[in-house]
Structure 1
Amino acid sequence: MLTLLALLCLFASLLPAGLAVVNLMVLRTPEAEPDDGLVSILIPARNEAGNIAGTVHAALASTGVPVEVIVGDDHSTDATAAIVTGIGDPRLRLSPVPDLPEGWTGKNHACAHLASQARGRWLLFIDADVTLQPGAAAALSARARQTGAALVSAVPRQRMDTLGERLTVPMINFLLLGYLPMLLMRRLPNPSLATACGQLVLFDAAAYGVTGGHGAVRGFLHDGVRLAPIFRRAGYRTDLVAGARIATCRMYDGFPAAWAGFSKNAHEGLATPRALPLWTALLGLGHLLPPLLLLAGLLGLMPSAATVLAALAFGVSLATRAAITLATGEPIATIPLHPASIAVALAIQWNVLLRRERAGAATWKGRSYPVGGA
């Protein structure tokens, strides 16, 4: 029985390993190409005084394409607006976001408002904690032109300065590169294969208007995941590219913030009665059980065949994580934390699922929203 369990663990670890090998070969950083099409860099900001100056200066330093930068001040109570106003670049505008209408979530409302103010052919939405490399806007718009995609997104290189961040944030790239078949995502128009990262996403402005843009997902919290399938249902192509060399982001500043942030997104992610048991089996067998079975084997509590299989599964799991970590520029120190990261990720999802009916709402940036969107 233990040998069969260890064999299942090996199979479960080989699935993301195989996908990661293919995905890392096809997921490339787009090359920046000069173009005269205006890129509107749109930054929703709510109490971002600690980040906004660096984010805006980096956006204004964009090369290869003309840019305008618009910051949507979403009722900040700190110095966000004053900092933006003080920068004083003619390509920069501060646009106060109107009061939040019923049925909207804050970020989607701010993004929709920013889009209404933009003049560019391309709309590049970035979070207020994202720092663009100079060629980022030119690279993403070039990729859109080359492939005909109306939506091109990327996951920035994630900065993680605390243990709590290193336990949680790497799961973004691990799940994406280990479990999304990129070749099928690009070759098939199926909306279920489409995804995007809301931290960094470029839209064709005309397609954004046709689909309704952020207005089409007004009641949801996870805009990146929701928008890409909508574009595909409308007949547009979407694409995902490597983002570690074109932008950097520090999502959270410690474990409490990371737990709250990933819990907010879990409401519309894995934390559903159908999806979470399957993901628990996949992640548990592939990444959690192997080190436990290996330890049991080393203590003489399992047959030698089961111990060997568990060791192979654990090795494959860590090798997959190492390959993804190196390719995405994440800290090497996060690799041995991988089993703990899986455990924390599942704990967040199960906590959200089990609390869903009692809580009834997700809270973020001082606002509460009904669970499940509008």
Structure 2
Amino acid sequence: MLKFQRTKLVNIINNNDGTLAVHGTLDDHIYQIEIDMVIGIDDHAIRAIDGKWIRAENSECRRAIPFLKNAIGIKIDSDDFTQHVNKHVGRKACPHFANLIIECCNAAEDAVDMLKFEAAGKDQPDLTFEEYLAGNAPVVPKDKPEARVSVQPDRPEKQATKEKKILEGLNGFCVDLHIHTFPASQCSSSSVDEMLQEAGRIGLDAVCITDHNYVWKTADIHTLSEKHGILVFNGNEITTDQGDMLVFGMHKDVQGIIKLKELKQLVDDANGFIIAAHPFRGFLIFNTNEIGLTVEKAMQRPALKQVNALEILNGKVTERENVFAGKVAAGLGMPATGGSDAHDVAGVGKYATCFDVKIGNEEELVEAL
């Protein structure tokens, strides 16, 4: 089992001016970063933010500080808060800073709830915190100016909305075929335990761990399945001379860049399956007419003859790129899959592949694909 330890610490102080001062640190074997924020109690908005990196192994964290300002104005109680932070800080700068911001703001919400509970307790001394969260606290009358926050809690309603999340209406056995975990994938900012907890919470039937050029031990995969009560399948995202490939059923540890033709031989020998991951990522930055890329021309790419399926729904590319991939798959009559390509908890399950049959192990997954 991969051994790794990460510590997150959040400290919150009431400034007594309608704001909270929030200080957060993230420290693990690779990174050590800190942030300071000011969050409004009434409007739940990030008023100010600053950060610093103390230890980092890549350039992302070092250049992230100016991008932290993109979080100013975001309301921490909004339904799309996590997506906003990941989009404006995580993708543009550093996912580790985004992860720490989210952790700090979750703690700040708890602190606001505690302040509201204390205000409600002035009129109802016997009120318990559980009763308050259940919505049984009275609203403080307007003639009591010392209560600067509304005491009617909105957090339980927000949590209920999140619990329903994205999987309502999907039928079949639904699997997120594409997620990355930290530290096996250095580009990820969430641990395997965090990712699997989220997958179970939103109702996925199974998850495929597809870390970059990293093969999990079968025993560890089984342990994770038992620990989290969700089926976990072993996969791998392998870098080839023709792009990134999701591989299932082949457990050879491939490092560096391999020729796609050689990878196909390895996978065929293992009776495995290859999916071309985000096959047109970056191809549509310019208008397709400007670079002469059409669906017909894309269908002629030699790499597509070496794979078994195309990923046509990927959570990390643009809608245009997904639509284009779907048209290519349809034109070739190739199987199509969807996967979140999640690099943090917020992305898990954005897209999934739903099968008509229940899948119980990796061999059955390959057969179903």
The two structures share one fold, judged by TM-score above 0.5: no
Which is richer in helix? 1
Kindly indicate which of the two structures has a greater share of residues assigned to strand.
2
* Bigger CA radius of gyration: 2
Q: TM-score, normalised by structure 1?
A: 0.23
| TM-score, normalization by structure 2 | 0.23
